[in-house]
Structure 1
């Protein structure tokens, strides 16, 4: 009997404890009686802000910072940070390293087709054909196709692109020289440079990015290989172009010797804007400095000429241009959907703050006149508008050089020897063709 009473007492105690525990306000209990628990479940928590990193070669203060600030204000759920790299070999290596890790680069700009090709080969660019909500050809026009790789887009060509000759119109007028015609030649340029040079003033300076513009336009017209499939890097037009430039360096003294430009790292755009050169071979990227009268004051008007062909008989010359600033998405990015949303916004008008630096959007969604007005705002009197319209916004048969970067590098190694007087012109052409032919094989 005592044992039975003891068991009954224990059972009652346990039942009472369970009831009290189930109704208590403990950590796992419901303090609202029969009301449901209104605390949000873990899956209801607001999504974390997506953070993207965009790499480009334009200084942040020349437009990119204004672009990302405008985006971030409109899109609080996706924050973009701009990271600048220098568009040279070390700078592109830095970008490629970031792309490989997949941690520090979600979006990035490509400025040469050869570099984009290497990134595609390395699996570092998203194939945009898998994204069907944007028609690149329709938005950007027929020149966009020059950026296709294996008939696919791996980035959005976002701006109108061109290299040309910047001219100090005051110096032209003083020398009695007109603005050159569109179809002028390197012999014409040589004569202009000789007449324009003075003490402490070069007739011509060349930006490194535009140094081979005539070479590339020539081979784009001729074809990189001959009819028999062998290299065309020993063509006589290249020889003529090289010899004229060599004479300008060492005989006319109208342009710097190559070694001097390399070792001193000449700030050629700054020198032109200071009046230390009458002509400058460069691209539209110089507008960001030319429009900055505070840091680069100048009182002369700037006119424009096309890149010269080698000679008058050259009828198949193509002009460096088309479209540029190809915005790609890193295939290793964990935020590709957000990156794609930004890329479309940027291309279709978000990039307008870049116009003041000469970057005119290529998308049909953007009014080109509005972009040009932004580019010249406040400095309209500093440009010869007629030559600007004829050259910078003219219609030319353009190209994107589709030669592998290894071949471009080999070509540069050889022609540098010629301009450093370490080998003659015939050996230079022979070696360029030989190294290209080895790559073809």
Structure 2
């Protein structure tokens, strides 16, 4: 897999002007697990001068499992105490993490949620090469899907969970509209039709997770290829045009999904909206389970069923579902003074230590963990509120999956262009031409 070098200097330049103060543990850090060293009798006997303190940055709310994980580790390992620091997995949150890494603040381990983020951090020398550790066979433990996260044949992070992007659907609203559960091979045209039929006063037909506004399209783009046979950009292609136009029409013509501008400015809590019955369909992933399983704070009377992300065209060849395979890739900061301790914790975390997070939809990918046990933990007490057949078929089935392999700079550039289109600031042809040009410029600038 080709990597594009940007260097630490360029990333530093990108961070100039960003306020570094507050990027550490203050404000978003979980208190109690790192500084106290635990409260067990065993911990009390440990020489505090010899206690290694690690900080693990992740995007999962601490109450959705990380606190239990830290408590379990800290109770058993008085000599290595781990503190969890929350960052939000969006552009500002990832910038906060990158700033902390570059500024030399306390980050020993951190989670990556996109391949493009891993690439950018590796190119800036912010992720340790895990091939230095010979006591853990990542391929054997995690299976063939782990290779999607390799860069030049090496791992710079350990993928720790099963991952899948899919659609959540309100079964009661489907029944009311007399619509069947969508088939595996449905299309964006079908999605548009469903959304139009499901919308009603105060109910959106479809909402899409903010972090992946084009998530339903990425599998189709990957199937066509990101570059042509001559090595130039393939962004100006019929799939992108059809997919973007369909989403635009759903926003501005059908009004079956929120406009992009409205969703951004109001910071719509789209998962909460779906669970409250204010949207019939939600495009997201397994991380929504942390809220959908919480019937106390998010009560609902309807059953949830599931569908795949749609294709752009029904007859696509070599189609793979985007965002699938493995995820939650945990990297070690090469600047950490305690890399060996971080590696010890990471192995434990991957091989079952992360199980308390299963209730939030995070199923460990390690073969050391019984998947059935993890699934039972994920759905414990709420099994009847889901269509288990569609869940197993999609999240735990044998669907072909792909992680979209685009450098973060290109991800950002294409987002800037389609945002202009969704906001009605430029037409589709200009959008596609600009995406293609900016991708080609990047390719030229980074040729080896």
Same fold (TM over 0.5): yes
Aligned to 2:305: 303
CA contact (8 A) 2:217 2:311 kept: no
1:100-179 → structure 2 map (5 Å cutoff) = 100-179=102-181
| 1:103 Cα deviation from its structure 2 partner | 4.1
1:306-321 → structure 2 map (5 Å cutoff) = 306-320=308-322, 321=324
Deviations along 1:232-287, whole A, 9 cap, x unmatched?
00010110111111111122111111111111111100000000010000011110
Aligned to 1:270: 272
CA contact (8 A) 1:127 1:154 kept: yes
Q: Secondary structure at the match of 1:108?
A: strand
Moved more, 66-75 or 243-252: 243-252
Aligned to 2:390: 387
Q: Extract structure 1 runs of 4+ deviating beyond 4 A.
A: none
Note if 1:374 corresponds to 2:377.
Answer: yes
CA distance in 1, matches of 2:103, 2:423: 39
Of 332, 335, 345, which aligns to 1:332?
335
CA distance in 1, matches of 2:231, 2:435: 15
Q: Secondary structure at the match of 1:180?
A: coil
Aligned to 2:430: 427
CA distance in 1, matches of 2:262, 2:124: 36
Aligned to 1:247: 249
Aligned to 2:185: 183
Q: Secondary structure at the match of 2:211?
A: helix
Question: How many equivalent residue pairs?
Answer: 397
Deviations along 1:5-29, whole A, 9 cap, x unmatched?
xxxxxxxxxxxxxxxxxxxxxxxxx
Q: Secondary structure at the match of 1:209?
A: coil
Q: Secondary structure at the match of 1:208?
A: coil
Of 210, 231, 234, which aligns to 1:232?
234
CA contact (8 A) 1:217 1:318 kept: yes
Of 412, 417, 420, which aligns to 1:417?
420
Note if 1:359 corresponds to 2:390.
Answer: no
Q: Secondary structure at the match of 1:210?
A: coil
1:20-99 → structure 2 map (5 Å cutoff) = 48-99=50-101
CA distance in 1, matches of 2:351, 2:181: 35
Q: Secondary structure at the match of 1:325?
A: strand
Q: Secondary structure at the match of 2:255?
A: coil
Note if 1:436 corresponds to 2:442.
Answer: no
CA contact (8 A) 2:221 2:239 kept: no
CA distance in 2, matches of 1:139, 1:153: 13
CA contact (8 A) 1:304 1:392 kept: no
Deviations along 1:30-73, whole A, 9 cap, x unmatched?
xxxxxxxxxxxxxxx88610000000000000000100100001
Aligned to 1:30: none
CA contact (8 A) 1:156 1:326 kept: yes
CA distance in 2, matches of 1:101, 1:375: 37
| 1:102 Cα deviation from its structure 2 partner | 3.8
CA distance in 1, matches of 2:319, 2:220: 5
| 1:378 Cα deviation from its structure 2 partner | 1.0
| 1:214 Cα deviation from its structure 2 partner | 2.9
1:282-293 → structure 2 map (5 Å cutoff) = 282-293=284-295
| 1:97 Cα deviation from its structure 2 partner | 2.2
CA distance in 2, matches of 1:81, 1:297: 31
| 1:117 Cα deviation from its structure 2 partner | 1.0
| 1:213 Cα deviation from its structure 2 partner | 1.8
Q: TM-score, normalised by structure 2?
A: 0.87
Of 205, 210, 213, which aligns to 1:211?
213
CA distance in 1, matches of 2:106, 2:383: 40
Structure 2 gaps of 5+ residues are 1-46
CA RMSD of aligned residues (A): 1.1
Q: Secondary structure at the match of 2:271?
A: helix
CA contact (8 A) 1:123 1:331 kept: yes
Q: TM-score, normalised by structure 1?
A: 0.88
